[in-house]
């Protein structure tokens, strides 16, 4: 198997271990006596550490990609094992209620700190093993690994929880991560032997990358705001019960994920579209998806809008990542990948706050925000293309 194929399996296993937890965090938290706000802090803290540390890990990876990947995966495994252990002790009443949440939050901070090494290093690895012409296809493959894992992970997590209890997916995730680390150690080749010992810095305000980082941030904020509110929107627009909402949203999100995987795993790689083409196609499709959601009042229309927004993000996301990689030199790939991951993490931090806050004002507001943000980025694309050769 090629290094790119091996990296696909590495990232798929990493994201699978994370997405397995999606369906069980809520009920597990209630079983442990934690509030919804405390559960939200788990995600915010995780994203905060990724925002802070992704540039550091990207810079460190210039000295060698494989050790940083291993460190990130092993740290992720340790954090999940500790989370499961503290939760188990909390279930048995062996940890006081006042101490349980701080300990669990600490494990999430630890997980965010180490997992922030994985994605920027993987992006830099792709840049090492692909040429300029095939860069977008390589970045799209990473997106396909992410999307496929997000589709399969929740179903696997729900199945494990139903069969073995709510903590089974947590320990299963830790086990997957350990196997993934063994796989990386034994099979994945180093893409940067020797590395660069004297690695400089790359400012996020560097004119080569700043507009692209803003574009990626806008895509992430709008996408996360949608993800955080879409279940409420389905329920309110269609007048569904809680169980019926879960079924409807689950069906729509599976289609949403399959569209993204098909585009990134097949179309982008098959036709080798350059970043400029992906951005010019993806952003208008994403805008159309948001506008349909604003007007939608049926399951079909809601699902169509969601699928179109997913298609737009699946096109534009690899376009931004590949464009950032092509905008800098070969010795700056880890640096720019770290900045990209940090910008995405900032979007994941702010997206839930903006999305849910706007939803309280008007249910359509998060999707209007997404359409406006993407429309603004579309207006600035011509100036971006004059500045950066894509």
Question: Is the domain of 60 the same as that of 95?
Answer: yes
CA distance 327 to 318: 14
pLDDT at 196 over 70: no
Residue with the bigger pLDDT between 271 and 51: it is: 51
pLDDT at residue 242 greater than cutoff 80: no
Answer yes or no: are the C-beta atoms of 286 and 313 closer than 8 Å: yes
Question: In terms of domains, do 171 and 46 share one?
Answer: yes
- According to DSSP, residue 188 is labeled P
> Residue 195 — very low, low, confident or very high, per pLDDT cuts 50/70/90?
low
Report if residue 339 sits inside a domain. yes
Same domain, 273 and 335: yes
| pLDDT at position 105 | 95
In a domain, 191, yes or no: no
H/E element, 54: helix 36-60
> Is the CB of residue 54 less than 8 Å from the CB of residue 97?
no
What distance in Å separates the CA atoms of residue 82 and residue 342, rounded to the nearest whole number? 25
**CA 152 – CA 209 distance, rounded (Å):** 33
Task: Characterize 61-73 residue by residue with b for buried, 16 or more Cβ atoms within 10 angstroms of its Cβ, and e for exposed.
Answer: bbbbbbbbbbbbb
pLDDT at 366 over 90: yes
DSSP one-letter code for 332: G
Statement to judge: residues 172 and 293 lie in one domain: no
Pairwise CA distance, residues 144 & 315, whole Å: 11
Determine the Cα–Cα distance for residues 94 and 320; give it in Å rounded to an integer. Answer: 48
Report how far residue 213's alpha carbon sits from residue 205's, in angstroms, rounded to the nearest whole number.
9
- Give residue 12's Cα distance to chain centre: 12
- Distance separating alpha carbons of residues 27 and 45, to the nearest angstrom: 20
CATH number, domain containing residue 87? 1.20.1250.20
Q: What domain range includes position 175?
A: 3-186
Which residues are CB-contacts of 215 (< 8 A; sequence separation ≥ 6)? 279, 316, 320, 377, 380, 384
Residue 274: CB atoms within 10 Å: 17
With a pLDDT cut of 70, the percent of the chain lying above it is: 97
What is the model's pLDDT at position 273?
87
Q: Are residues 86 and 154 part of one domain?
A: yes
d(CA 57, CA 121): 7
171, 186, 201: which is the final residue of a domain? 186
d(CA 314, CA 273): 13
Mean pLDDT of 156-170: 88
CA dihedral 139, 141, 145, 146 (to 10 degrees): 30
State whether 74 and 146 are in the same domain: yes
* pLDDT tens per residue across span 302-346: 999 999 999 999 999 999 999 999 988 888 899 999 999 999 999
Banded pLDDT at 385 (limits 50, 70, 90): confident
90 within a domain of the structure (yes/no): yes
Confidence tier at 197 by pLDDT (50, 70, 90): low
Domain total in the chain: 2
Q: Are residues 134 and 15 in the same domain?
A: yes
Same domain as 143, residue 26: yes
Is residue 339 within 8 A of residue 213, CB to CB? The reply is yes
Residues 328 and 286 in one domain: yes
- Residue 288: pLDDT band (50, 70, 90) is very high
- Answer with the residue of higher pLDDT: 348 or 49: 49
Largest CA distance in the chain: 62
* pLDDT class of 384 with cuts at 50, 70, 90: confident
């Amino acid at each position: 198997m090629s290094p790119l194929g091996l990296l696909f399996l590495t990232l798929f296993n990493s994201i699978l271990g994370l997405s397995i937890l999606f369906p069980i965090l809520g009920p597990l938290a209630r079983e442990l006596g934690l509030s919804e706000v405390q559960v939200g802090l788990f995600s915010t803290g995780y994203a905060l550490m990724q925002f802070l540390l992704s540039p550091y890990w990207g810079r460190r990876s210039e000295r060698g990609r494989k050790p940083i990947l291993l460190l990130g995966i092993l740290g992720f495994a340790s954090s999940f094992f500790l989370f499961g252990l503290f939760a188990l002790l909390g279930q048995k009443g062996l940890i006081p209620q006042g101490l349980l949440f701080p300990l669990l939050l600490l494990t999430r901070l630890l997980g965010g700190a180490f997992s922030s090494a994985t994605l920027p290093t993987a992006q830099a690895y792709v840049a090492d093993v692909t040429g300029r012409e095939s860069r977008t296809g390589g970045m799209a493959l990473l997106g396909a690994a992410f999307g496929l894992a997000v589709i399969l992970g929740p179903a696997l997590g729900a199945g494990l929880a139903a069969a073995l209890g709510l903590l089974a997916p947590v320990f299963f995730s830790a086990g997957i991560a350990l196997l993934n680390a063994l796989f990386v150690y034994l099979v994945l080749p180093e893409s940067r032997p020797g590395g660069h010992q004297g690695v400089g810095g790359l400012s996020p305000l560097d004119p080569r990358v700043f507009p692209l980082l803003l574009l990626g941030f806008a895509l992430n904020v709008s996408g996360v705001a949608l993800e955080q509110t879409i279940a409420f929107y389905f329920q309110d627009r269609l007048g569904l019960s809680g169980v019926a909402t879960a079924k409807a949203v689950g069906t729509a999100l599976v289609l949403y994920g399959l569209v993204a995987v098909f585009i990134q795993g097949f179309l982008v790689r098959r036709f080798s579209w350059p970043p400029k083409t992906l951005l010019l196609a993806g952003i208008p499709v994403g805008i159309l998806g948001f506008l349909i959601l604003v007007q939608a009042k049926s399951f079909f229309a809601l699902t169509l809008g969601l699928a179109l927004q997913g298609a737009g993000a699946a096109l534009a996301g690899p376009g931004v990542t590949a464009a950032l990689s092509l905008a800098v030199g070969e010795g700056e790939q880890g640096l720019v990948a770290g900045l990209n991951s940090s910008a995405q993490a900032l979007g994941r931090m702010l997206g839930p706050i903006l999305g849910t806050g706007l939803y309280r004002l008007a249910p359509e507001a998060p999707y209007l925000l997404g359409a406006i943000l993407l429309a603004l980025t579309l207006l600035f694309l011509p100036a971006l293309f004059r500045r950066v050769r894509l």
